Structure 1
Amino acid sequence: METLIIGRVQLTWLSGGVTNLDGGAMFGVVPKPLWAKRYPPNDKNQIELPTDPILIQMDGKNILVEAGLGKGKLSEKQLRNFGVTAESDVDGSLQKLGLNPEDIDYVLMTHMHNDHVGGLTKLEDGIYKSTFPKAKIITSTIEWDEMRNPNIRSKSTYWKENWEAIQSQVIPFDEKWSLGAISMFHTGGHSNGHSILIIEDEGELAIHMADLMPTHAHRNPLWVMAYDDYPMDSIAAKEKWGAFALDKNPWFTFYHDAFYRAVKWGIDGQMTDSIKRVK
């Protein structure tokens, strides 16, 4: 498992599943000859997109960023449509670290689309139960409201089996939530309630842009997904937080990237450092 140290904070990537989605949808209006150079597709025009939560350990707390795809919850049709080649093994990853799901203190949900939230619940004897029963689950108020009352577009990804069993654990926030070195900020864009994370400690900085920048190939503010509900908000947020990071030499971390866990870019846009994903 790959790790990154930010001051006194340790980040470790867990095994949350793998999907393969249409590359055109993932890059929106960007022409394929451009995006395919940076993130090559398979013969079905799909690109590989892991769904790997990040375990943050700091001040004696175990904090998950996202929950993974889940396991044993998708139908054969859904597995096929989402191009799933591996379901979650978050439990196995935690065991390798000497932990179990009951040891998780917080789960930080940047948004609650199925590929991020599926691992929050598990199916046992036909009943959905909380995977992390002792955790406080943090997400924006807007996201939590839409999760329970989806519109005609979002109902395809906000499913009751992913929230009913954990609703007593959810702590929503409006614009900002903080815990020690971690801060979550509501941005909108990919979903109306989408948020990002900033981790800052001892002069070091990591930014988790979540699905505003799902892969390293989405660094350009204009390269946004067709899946984004509010693409102009995505562009504005990428410009805002890109400007914030410009002179801070931050790590950008990823949930979906098949090649990199985290990267740094110089002022000229060239990659200066990286942590590669080990397959």
Structure 2
Amino acid sequence: METMKIGEIELVWLNGGDTHMDGGAMFGVVPKPLWSKKYPVNDRNQIELRCDPILIRWNGLHMLVDSGIGSGKLTDKQKRNYGVTEETKVEESLATLGLQPTDINKVLMTHLHFDHASGLTKWEGDKLVSVFKNAEIITSAIEWDEMRQPNIRSKNTYWKENWEPVSDQVVTFEQSLDVTDGIQMHHTGGHSNGHSILTLTSNGETAIHLADIMPTHAHRNPLWVLAYDDYPMTSIPAKQKWQAFAEEKDAWYLFYHDAIYRAVKWDQEGHLTHKVKRAKGV
């Protein structure tokens, strides 16, 4: 498991499972000859996308950013369609750190699509139960409303199996939320109407997690947005706004989905200056 620090904030990437999604869908209207230079693609036109929660240890708290794709939650057809080659092993990752799911205080949900929220619940016998029973599950109010009442498009990714068992743990916010000292969540919309990002600041260092409005380092161009985005013309100015913030702060970018890098930093000319690579097989 890869680790890094932002000031005194400790980050650890857990094993949340692996998917392989259509590269064209992940880069929208960008031609394949362009995006395929930036991110590897297989002979089925799929790109690898990790679903690895980030454990944040800070201020006496154990917090997760998103929850992975879960284990035993997907049908064989869904695994095939989403190119799932590995399911969540978050509990095993936590155990190697001497932690249990009950030690998690907060789960910071950037949004509630199945590849981020399926790890919130698991099967115990014939009943779905909460994985992180002692945690507040934090998401934007807009996202929580849509999760429970999805529209004709979003019902394919907002599943009752992922929210009903944890409904009494959910805490919502409107525009921004101070989760704890130095860690904020900000509603952006774009990828979903309720999509949110995170900023982390400690001892003069800053990191930003743009979640699925910038799911990999290859999506740095503000115009390179996903066909999966419900509101792409909201994603673009949101990326521009927060990339300007990141440039001003000389911030690290953190990733949940990127199969190559856990975190990167660019200079003002767009050159990659710092990186934390994912160890293969993790």
CA distance in 2, matches of 1:58, 1:187: 24
Residue of structure 1 equivalent to 2:154? 154
CA distance in structure 2 between the partners assigned to 1:94 and 1:243 by the alignment: 34
Give me the whole-angstrom Cα distance separating, in 1, the residues matched to 2:177 and 2:248: 24
In structure 1, give the amino acid aligned to 2:171. I
Paired amino acid for 1:97: L
User: Structure 1 stretches of 5 or more lacking a match?
Assistant: none
2:176 aligned residue? 176
TM-superposed deviation, 1:247? 2.5
> Which residue in the other structure is 1:49 paired with?
49
Q: Distance in 2 between matches of 1:8 and 1:120?
A: 27
> d(CA) in 1 for partners of 2:36 and 2:165?
40
Aligned to 1:255: 256
Q: Secondary structure at the match of 1:275?
A: strand
Structure 2 equivalent of residue 235 of structure 1: 236
Q: Secondary structure at the match of 1:21?
A: strand
The aligned amino acid for 2:85 is T
Q: Write out the 4+ residue segments of structure 1 that deviate beyond 2 Å after TM superposition.
A: none
1:125 aligns with 2:108: no
Cα distance between partner residues in 2 of 1:46 and 1:148: 30
Instruction: Say whether the 8 Å CA contact 2:177–2:184 is kept in structure 1.
Output: yes
Q: Residue 9 of structure 2 aligns to which amino acid in structure 1?
A: V
1:8-87 correspondence runs (5 A): 8-87=8-87
Match of 1:275 in 2: 276
Secondary structure of the corresponding residue to residue 226 of structure 2: coil
In 1, Cα distance between the equivalents of 2:6 and 2:159?
Answer: 35
**What SS does the aligned partner of 2:37 have?**
helix
Distance 2:271 2:240 in 1: 17
**Deviation at residue 60 of structure 1 after TM alignment:** 1.3
Q: Comparing 94-103 with 244-253, which one deviates more in the overlay?
A: 244-253
What's the CA shift string for 1:228-249, capped at 9, x where partnerless? 0000100010001111122211
- Alignment correspondent of 2:195: 194
Equivalent AA in structure 2 for residue 238 of structure 1:
K
User: How far did 1:70 drift?
Assistant: 0.1
Separation in structure 2 between the aligned mates of residue 26 and residue 158 of structure 1, nearest angstrom: 19
| Aligned alpha-carbon RMSD (Å) | 0.5
Alignment-mate amino acid for residue 87 of structure 1: E
SS class of match (1:257): coil
Give the Å deviation of 1:59.
1.3
TM-score normalized by the length of structure 2: 0.98
- Please say which of residues 239-248 and 150-159 is displaced more in the overlay: 239-248
Q: Which residue does 2:215 correspond to in 1? A: 214
* C-alpha displacement of 1:18: 0.1
Percent of matched pairs sharing the same residue: 63
Give the counterpart letter for 1:32 in structure 2. Answer: K
Cα deviation per residue 1:202-244 (whole Å; 9 max; x = unaligned)? 1000000000110000000000000000001000100011111
Count of matched residue positions in the alignment of Structure 1 and Structure 2? 279
Letter paired with 1:204: E
